[in-house]
Amino acid sequence: MNKGKRYEDLACEYLKSLGYKILERNYHCRFSEIDVVALDGDTLVIVEVKGSAGDNFGSPEERFTKRKLERLVKCAYTYLERLGKDTDFRVDLITVHKKEIKHFKNVSFDI
C-alpha cells in the first residue's frame, strides 16, 4: 500500500470516529483531486490529507499552499455541480506526521 493511501485511510478512520460520514474518496476534476469528501452533520467537508514519516520536506501543514486551497475550492464546485447541488462547504486539512493526526477545520489563507 502506498503512503498516500495509508494516510488517507488513517484520516478517514479518524473522521469516522468523530461521526463524519465519508461520501467519496479521491474525486478527480480538471483542477485537482479531493482526497476525501465527507459530511460533518449537515456540512459538506472537502478534506485534504497530507502526511509524512519524517522531517525531510517540512511538516505536512507547511506543504499545504494557498494555490492548493484554490484548486480544491474549484474542484469542490465541480463536485457540487455534478451532484446538481448548491450548498455551502468547508475545507479541512488533516495531517499525519510521525503517526500524530492533526485536524485543521475550515482552513483559509488570509490576504
- For residue range 16-51, list pLDDT tens digits in order: 999 999 999 999 999 899 999 999 999 999 999 998
- Residue 34 in any domain: the answer is yes
- Residue 36 in any domain: the answer is yes
Report, as an integer, the average pLDDT of 76-88: 91
Q: Which one is predicted more confidently, 42 or 63?
A: 42
- Residue 17 in any domain: the answer is yes
Query: What range does the domain containing 13 cover?
Result: 3-104
Number of domains in the chain: 1
- Residue 109 in any domain: the answer is no
| CATH for 52 | 3.40.1350.10
- Residue 82 in any domain: the answer is yes
SS3 percent helix, strand, coil of the chain, rounded to 5, is: 35, 35, 30
- Residue 111 in any domain: the answer is no
